[in-house]
A and B are shown apart, each in its own frame.
Chain A
Amino acid sequence: MKTPILLELSEITKTFPGVKANNDISFSIKPGEIHALLGENGAGKSTLVKIIYGIMQPDHGQMFFGEKLYKPSEPFEARANGIGMVFQHFSLFEALTVAENIELGINKEAASKDLNRQISEISETYGLPVDPIQRIGSLSVGECQRVEVVRCLLQKPRLLIMDEPTSVLTPQESHLLFQTLTKLSQDGCSILYISHKLEEIRMLCERATVLRDGKVVAQCSPREESARSLAKMMIGSNLKTPQPSKPAFGEKRLSVNGLSINSTNPLGTSLCNLVFEVRAGEILGIAGVAGNGQTELFEVLSGERTVDKNMVQLDHRLVGHEGPTKRRELGMCCIPEERVGHAVVPDMSLWENCILSARTRQKLERNGFLNIPASHNFAEKIVENFNVKTPSVKRDVRSLSGGNLQKFIVGREMLQNPRILVIMQPTWGVDAAAAADIHFALNELAETGTAILTISQDLDELIAISNSFAVISEGRLSEPRPTINVTIEEIGLLMGKTSHFEKNEQNDPP
């Protein structure tokens, strides 16, 4: 007998300029199963669920829902078909009550008069305690998620998509959610569960589809796999052999001493007692899945967020409390992950963007006035040395392509002869030739004695260029060690680790 299939994907392909986000993806979900979609950031998970939920349309391929051809052009149609989705970022109005929010978000037919009773019923059946008359603004993140789940369940979905649901939850809340999901699946609702947390998937899911670089690389039953083997599928084993690290480095340039901060953003990550140092000539690589504290760490290092004086040290000076300008003066240059709108202002020219971060070290400012000729010269020097393709430095930065823009930004910081360089995602979205140029330039800079800290999600890259290696996960940093001693399995485990038990000890609510 043929097993019934709820949703079937057949050869789904979606291309964005420069990247194939989904490449010939086929898999199926059975009724009542909890199906995991596993993959690193950028593996194509989000694109795929957006296609299923009707936010995007595939370039090729077909979907079948309950054996019928399914081709949603709007999320509305997905909902009408019985597909619900809980996003990582909630769409709730803070000033309205739970019931009002739910009423707004569901199709009219489903919003009957006794909505409050329905909400209470669902929340009892599935162990989702929510109070219909409370205002969203007064709820915790976990409670907001429950509201979103209830909203989906009211429409009696046959498939529920959950996008990294536990990334915003405390361990206790995650546990409650798992119970709900299990109950749901017993009642016949299928769940597509997106995550990169391996332990969770092993506990919860019956089947898993693993994506890497937009392709399905494995289908497995996670309960029969180890976290280690799952990590290997997710990351792949095509990592290059690490280069031998240089035996000796110079004096200590950057040290971070017991850095702990609370995230100001509810979806951010708090940092917990980070300790590391970077010496002259050393390249320290910090790996980790996005959203584990990298952004927060960068902001502390660049000086955009100031912290206690003692937490950051440049050479012999304690600079935790100093802003970006002072740190640049002392020889620290930083390259953020976000290029447009963080590293550069898109509607300003190349030479104007030089002033943003190079005005102190390159003297592009004289008695408060802009030194326009010097800025032009510096911009031209970057264009020449880093092979940036642009007709003129008077062009707006937004006219540069991704790779050229990154070369410009990297050049702007490197040509300032930094003593310390912090660089995030050095080659994200950059073509292979440009990536090789940037790697070469980083190595060269290290050889002249600059201390370099690289934060990246690209393991190949980190292993290829860094001498020392550490992994950041949930705001904690593993102890840095020489890259040559690190194995892929270890990295995978450190990256996908769920440190629930450690966390429980400290974060238990009173």
Chain B
Amino acid sequence: MIRLEARNQTSRTLLFWSPILAVGITVIAGTIMFALLGKAPIRAIAIIFLEPLGDIFSIAEIVVKATPLILIAVGLSFGFKAGIWNIGAEGQFTIGALSGGSVALALYQIDGAWVLPLMCLAGAVGGMLWAAIPAFLKTRYNANEILVSLMLTYVAVLLLSALVHGPLKDPDGMNFPESRIFHDAATLPILIEGTRAHVGFVTAIVAVAISWLVLSRHIFGYQIKVLGQSQRAARFGGFNEKHVTWICLMISGGLAGLAGLFEAAGPVGQLVPALPVGYGFTAIIVAFLGRLNPLGILLGGFVMALTYIGGESAQIELNLPSAVTGVFQGMLLFFLLGIDVLANYKIRMTQPLSRKLSE
């Protein structure tokens, strides 16, 4: 029988290096997988992990993908640190896109520098309202936020689809389930000419900086840390668990909503049913890859975005199935969690009980 036994002392070194180690093992496992599939393994790895870094267009695409991942993951890290598990960022992302996008459509062809900020506000508030449902149910009725937030994701996705098929449909769109394409004043300015990298990325960097400050220097970050480690100590310290729950869910919901709006008003440029592509779920991996630390998340967001872009190139150049991206992301999380377990536990082989008795 294999048994896990708690280590007396958590291996800090292992814990610190585990994200890097996980990336390394993922690359190795990927090589083996490609070899088994009959593709040139080294070349495949190079296409996924190195080639996208070669030209400005690919780098800009990485930035486009990293922006929502970083924004959402930074928001999630607040709750995750405190032991509040918002798994429904995808839903908050969708509602953010929907509410911010609706503002854009309502103000169609109206120009003004205030249009975009208003959309951002609507997007963030939309995400917060969606996250307020699990927050209320948790603090009031002790409902499990994991289930509530996750299930609300499906509601949000279907709501977007229903509205885009109905009231938000482009009147001149030949009955396609799409909204109008947002007018210029409702579209995010581009950072690098000729690419899709948009100012949302700047917002993500600002969010990282502010989050770092709050988590490491502000009393609220302190409360989160205490609550995540011991509810009893938090109560002794005079911290209110319900307030922290609300604030954490508002931060993660707001940032996810903002990310959703950025996606709609940036690379996509309109509301479509396929807008939610799983950033909200991938961001969970990013948050853990970054050790719930905003700076780590910034890096983790880029690594994850790289697997998206690299996965796409692999599909095109090597005729690999699109599942390759998901496989890589899954392996990354799997190895990361595996190494974390080994940092806290060691493996011991034991005799089965029945044999011991018969001796």
A residues near B, CB below 8 A? 73-74, 76-77, 80, 302-304, 323-326, 328, 334, 336, 338, 341-348, 352, 355-357, 359, 365, 368-370, 372
Q: A157 to B310, alpha carbons, bound, how many Å?
A: 66
Q: A341 to B237, alpha carbons, bound, how many Å?
A: 11
CB of A484, distance to nearest CB on chain B (Å): 34
Any chain A CB within 8 A of the CB of B106?
no
Interchain CB contact under 8 A, A348 and B225? yes
Interface string of B215-231 (1 = CB under 8 A from A): 00111101001100110
| B353 partner residues in chain A, CB cutoff 8 A | 74, 76
Any chain A CB within 8 A of the CB of B236?
yes
| B356 partner residues in chain A, CB cutoff 8 A | 73-74
CB of A342, distance to nearest CB on chain B (Å): 5
| A74 partner residues in chain B, CB cutoff 8 A | 353, 356
Interchain CB contact under 8 A, A356 and B220? no
Which chain A residue has the least Cβ–Cβ distance from B220? Answer: A368
With A76-B353, A347-B229, A348-B229: A365-B236 Cβ-Cβ less than 8 Å: no
- Say what secondary structure dominates the interface of chain B: helix
Interchain CB contact under 8 A, B218 and A370? yes
Interchain CB contact under 8 A, A341 and B225? no
Contact with B232, one of A73, A76, A341 (Cβ below 8 angstroms): A341
Any chain A CB within 8 A of the CB of B238?
yes
| B236 partner residues in chain A, CB cutoff 8 A | 302, 304, 324, 334, 336, 342-343, 356-357
Interchain CB contact under 8 A, B238 and A345? no
Any chain A CB within 8 A of the CB of B46?
no
Contact with B219, one of A302, A336, A345, A359 (Cβ below 8 angstroms): A359
Can you list 22 pairs linking A and B with CB atoms under 8 Å apart? Answer: A73-B356, A74-B356, A303-B238, A324-B236, A336-B236, A338-B232, A341-B230, A342-B230, A342-B233, A345-B225, A345-B226, A345-B229, A345-B230, A346-B229, A346-B230, A348-B226, A356-B233, A356-B236, A357-B237, A365-B219, A368-B218, A370-B218
Which chain A residue has the least Cβ–Cβ distance from B233? Answer: A345
CB of B49, distance to nearest CB on chain A (Å): 34
CB of B209, distance to nearest CB on chain A (Å): 15
Interchain CB contact under 8 A, A369 and B219? yes
CB of A474, distance to nearest CB on chain B (Å): 24
Interchain CB contact under 8 A, A324 and B357? no
Any chain A CB within 8 A of the CB of B235?
yes
Which chain B residue has the least Cβ–Cβ distance from A304? Answer: B235
Q: A13 to B237, alpha carbons, bound, how many Å?
A: 40
Interface string of B345-359 (1 = CB under 8 A from A): 000000001001100
Q: A342 to B217, alpha carbons, bound, how many Å?
A: 22
Q: A372 to B216, alpha carbons, bound, how many Å?
A: 10
- Interface pairs A-B: 4 shortest CB-CB: A324-B238, A325-B238, A356-B237, A341-B230
Known: A304-B236, A341-B233, A355-B219. 7 other contacts (CB 8 A): A303-B238, A345-B226, A346-B229, A355-B222, A369-B217, A370-B217, A370-B219
Q: A481 to B354, alpha carbons, bound, how many Å?
A: 60
CB of B290, distance to nearest CB on chain A (Å): 19
CB of A69, distance to nearest CB on chain B (Å): 14
Which chain B residue has the least Cβ–Cβ distance from A298? Answer: B236
Interchain CB contact under 8 A, A324 and B233? no
Interchain CB contact under 8 A, A352 and B232? no
CB of B243, distance to nearest CB on chain A (Å): 11
Q: A328 to B229, alpha carbons, bound, how many Å?
A: 23
With A73-B356, A74-B353, A76-B353: A369-B233 Cβ-Cβ less than 8 Å: no
Interchain CB contact under 8 A, A369 and B218? yes
B residues near A, CB below 8 A? 217-220, 222, 225-226, 229-230, 232-233, 235-238, 240, 353, 356-357
CB of B342, distance to nearest CB on chain A (Å): 19
| A77 partner residues in chain B, CB cutoff 8 A | 357
CB of A404, distance to nearest CB on chain B (Å): 17
Interchain CB contact under 8 A, A323 and B238? yes
Interchain CB contact under 8 A, B233 and A343? yes
Contact with A368, one of B219, B232, B235, B240 (Cβ below 8 angstroms): B219
Q: A357 to B357, alpha carbons, bound, how many Å?
A: 52
Which chain B residue has the least Cβ–Cβ distance from A338? Answer: B232
Which chain B residue has the least Cβ–Cβ distance from A398? Answer: B9
| A368 partner residues in chain B, CB cutoff 8 A | 218-220
Q: A57 to B230, alpha carbons, bound, how many Å?
A: 31
Which chain B residue has the least Cβ–Cβ distance from A323? Answer: B238
Interchain CB contact under 8 A, A342 and B232? yes
| A356 partner residues in chain B, CB cutoff 8 A | 226, 233, 236-237
| B226 partner residues in chain A, CB cutoff 8 A | 345, 348, 356
Q: A365 to B353, alpha carbons, bound, how many Å?
A: 55
Q: A347 to B9, alpha carbons, bound, how many Å?
A: 11
CB of B346, distance to nearest CB on chain A (Å): 19
Interchain CB contact under 8 A, B222 and A352? yes
Which chain B residue has the least Cβ–Cβ distance from A356? Answer: B237
Q: A16 to B7, alpha carbons, bound, how many Å?
A: 18
Q: A356 to B220, alpha carbons, bound, how many Å?
A: 12
Q: A208 to B141, alpha carbons, bound, how many Å?
A: 49
Q: A343 to B218, alpha carbons, bound, how many Å?
A: 21
CB of A428, distance to nearest CB on chain B (Å): 17
Interchain CB contact under 8 A, B233 and A328? no
| A347 partner residues in chain B, CB cutoff 8 A | 229
Q: A346 to B232, alpha carbons, bound, how many Å?
A: 12
| B237 partner residues in chain A, CB cutoff 8 A | 324, 356-357
The interface centre, meaning the residue of B222, B236, B240 with most chain A CB atoms within 10 A of its CB, is B236
Q: A369 to B357, alpha carbons, bound, how many Å?
A: 60
CB of B90, distance to nearest CB on chain A (Å): 31
CB of B343, distance to nearest CB on chain A (Å): 13
The interface centre, meaning the residue of B217, B222, B226, B233 with most chain A CB atoms within 10 A of its CB, is B233
Which chain B residue has the least Cβ–Cβ distance from A334? Answer: B236
Which chain A residue has the least Cβ–Cβ distance from B225? Answer: A348
CB of B242, distance to nearest CB on chain A (Å): 12
CB of A491, distance to nearest CB on chain B (Å): 30
CB of A186, distance to nearest CB on chain B (Å): 33
Which chain B residue has the least Cβ–Cβ distance from A358? Answer: B237
Q: A391 to B242, alpha carbons, bound, how many Å?
A: 37
Q: A336 to B234, alpha carbons, bound, how many Å?
A: 13
The interface centre, meaning the residue of A73, A342, A372 with most chain B CB atoms within 10 A of its CB, is A342
Q: A341 to B229, alpha carbons, bound, how many Å?
A: 8
CB of A340, distance to nearest CB on chain B (Å): 8
CB of A454, distance to nearest CB on chain B (Å): 18
Interchain CB contact under 8 A, A344 and B233? yes
Which chain B residue has the least Cβ–Cβ distance from A355? Answer: B222
Q: A267 to B145, alpha carbons, bound, how many Å?
A: 28
CB of A301, distance to nearest CB on chain B (Å): 12
| A323 partner residues in chain B, CB cutoff 8 A | 238, 240
| B235 partner residues in chain A, CB cutoff 8 A | 304, 324
CB of B14, distance to nearest CB on chain A (Å): 16
CB of B352, distance to nearest CB on chain A (Å): 12
CB of A65, distance to nearest CB on chain B (Å): 16
| A359 partner residues in chain B, CB cutoff 8 A | 219
| B225 partner residues in chain A, CB cutoff 8 A | 345, 348
| B240 partner residues in chain A, CB cutoff 8 A | 323
Which chain A residue has the least Cβ–Cβ distance from B240? Answer: A323
| B222 partner residues in chain A, CB cutoff 8 A | 352, 355, 370
CB of A408, distance to nearest CB on chain B (Å): 14
| B238 partner residues in chain A, CB cutoff 8 A | 303, 323-326, 328
Q: A485 to B222, alpha carbons, bound, how many Å?
A: 48
Q: A324 to B218, alpha carbons, bound, how many Å?
A: 20
Q: A323 to B233, alpha carbons, bound, how many Å?
A: 14
Which chain B residue has the least Cβ–Cβ distance from A364? Answer: B219
Q: A343 to B357, alpha carbons, bound, how many Å?
A: 44
CB of B235, distance to nearest CB on chain A (Å): 5
